[in-house]
Structure 1
């Protein structure tokens, strides 16, 4: 099964962040290897967010406790300093903290902002990974965090103001998720480079590269951090082992009772381990593992359904035409992979079973970019109506 994207070109957002590099140059020379400071000034960065939008969010949006945090001079600020006793965000305290030098952090803002969400979706095909945004609003002359590295790759888009960036050393190996920087354990290395990230510029920092950023000049800084949440070959191989173990009966046996103790038969246990490893190597299926990973990636993308309610508020005529929403992932696969029969289309949040008659026609029309019910030749009109309606509800189809 192959995951597909509903827009043939998914490099637009990436190209904005890495100009003047091409995607090929970026992935060859920088991805997971070395930071890259794009000195190009791109006005489209400012279209994604603004200080006025942050002001609106803090003033008028619902703010669950986990939707905002604050930091100052390298340390996180306890939530009790900007929330009430019942956990509700104290909006005045947030602004007063900013006035006193604290950075306002809005994690995962893409889930509450359509532009940022669309931007994240546009990057997921380019990286084959989920993406997220964290927003940082920092007063003049301040910084939120000290020298550290992240456990995931990041792009920094400078929306307003500017920041002084410092780049330090790299870990010997790329960190896994959860292997964050610890001051008492990790050496950031020597300062390797420093520069000013200006409004409209972008920066790529691989996971494991230590860095620090301080507000430059007399204006506040607003930047978007885009996190690339990759899955590793280790993740893939663990899934392969789990999938293969379903077909190796010996893997279901409990560990020997004496495995942990000195009187245990270490040689016999080691021999069993080696037999199991050979059995896994002989049984593991790349195709089955890929199918599981690909399906989970599509399902977990998150739906984009803007306009769907309007489209469903009136009947769908035979000649009403629909286009494919940009950036939404989908895949056609055998329903047997999920314990069903026949074919299915997999979407963010849903898997829709398809008859043998409908499946090839639907795949051809979707990959063609647009469709109407009149384009199909089917005997089960009720199935077609239901599938088209569901594709609108789950965000793949947009009414022209």
Structure 2
């Protein structure tokens, strides 16, 4: 299906399962890569968790006393039916990281991966729903999926599933997700995924960490409050305990709401959200060290790295380019030329005509260092 069809008909509404395997899944991850990570990588306490029979395992069952992961205990628990979970593995794996970056512009949201390696005939977690939308990508083995009901409202971030409070509804459908197949599950839809068959199951859960209109409106209120002096006053001493002052206090509240309506600024709020979203994106700098070590000649051509977000601010005394991890101030004569070359997708130092050649070189090298540019 087209992306537009997905967003119009399925996103935040209904689960969707691909009608067949997608060959490119096999390029993302493998059990051999998981074996390499567990055996050869640094494993700090937050890099791995485990679950069995629908419950998380206590950390002391697979860590040393100092909290460091005990690799032998991890594999021994896995042998005895526990699922290995590798949270946020995209930060340690270049292929997964590039994959996440490619999705962030499409969704306007942070994208993360959690990896689940489940022994045969076992399952990691019981029936639950997530507070974020997910794509499930089955890499190897098979998983039986059970889809239950939807929450009445989409959950907010942190509004997780609680067995004693939430009704999962009736079982709607069960099916087997086979290698190469993908599944989309919107946040708030209850599900369960026991293993199927005698093979170990490896799947990637891609989490879409959205921001909501509620968060945007809270930022708008905070931004507008800077221009409403009355918002700086303390709450009245009579607010909680004096019923006779309730009407007067409500009148103050209504007055402030009216002022917020008049002074809330969409563009200012969008600027804050947009800059934060770009700067919070992780950097992707593969190849940058080699480029900087070899040196950059005037005619060496560079391209904008795929999936990297940036924005240009050309107004004001100090134009700047904002990208992951940094905001770089630009000379006034360089800024419009750089904006034009970045929009075109490629550049070389020799493309520019500026007064300060040293500043130009420093800017290009900085954009390489922070991952916006790579060799064409």
TM-score for the superposition, normalised by structure 1: 0.93
Quote how far apart the aligned CAs of 1:343 are: 1.3
Q: Does 1:44 align with 2:61?
A: no
Q: Residues of 2 paired with 1:33 and 1:24: CA distance?
A: 14
C-alpha distance after superposition, 1:103-132 (max 9, x if no partner): 000000000000000000000011000000
Quote how far apart the aligned CAs of 1:46 are: 1.2
2:145 corresponds in structure 1 to: 165
Structure 1 gaps, min length 5: 1-20
2:224 corresponds in structure 1 to: 244
Q: Residues of 2 paired with 1:113 and 1:42: CA distance?
A: 21
1:199 corresponds in structure 2 to: 179
Contact 2:314 2:336 in 1 (8 A): no
1:72 is aligned, of 43, 52, 56, to 52
1:389 corresponds in structure 2 to: 365
Quote how far apart the aligned CAs of 1:261 are: 0.8
Q: Residues of 2 paired with 1:162 and 1:29: CA distance?
A: 27
Q: Does 1:184 align with 2:164?
A: yes
Q: Residues of 2 paired with 1:253 and 1:176: CA distance?
A: 30
1:81 corresponds in structure 2 to: 61
1:58 corresponds in structure 2 to: 38
C-alpha distance after superposition, 1:332-352 (max 9, x if no partner): 02576xxxx331100000001
Look up the SS of the partner of 2:111 in the other structure. Answer: strand
Q: Residues of 2 paired with 1:200 and 1:177: CA distance?
A: 29
2:116 is aligned, of 133, 136, 139, to 136
Alignment length (residue pairs): 376
Q: Residues of 1 paired with 2:132 and 2:313: CA distance?
A: 30
C-alpha distance after superposition, 1:341-376 (max 9, x if no partner): 331100000001112211110011111111111000
Runs of 4+ in 1 over 3 A off after TM superposition: none
Q: Residues of 2 paired with 1:159 and 1:66: CA distance?
A: 23
2:342 corresponds in structure 1 to: 366
Quote how far apart the aligned CAs of 1:388 are: 0.4
Structure 2 gaps, min length 5: none
Q: Residues 245-264 of structure 1: matches in 2 within 5 Å?
A: 245-262=225-242
The root-mean-square deviation of aligned C-alpha atoms, in Å, is 1.0
Choose between structure 1 and 2 for higher RCO, CA contacts under 8 A separated by at least 6 residues.
1
C-alpha distance after superposition, 1:179-201 (max 9, x if no partner): 10001111100000111101000
Q: Residues 1-400 of structure 1: matches in 2 within 5 Å?
A: 21-262=1-242, 265-334=245-314, 341-400=317-376
Contact 1:335 1:353 in 2 (8 A): no
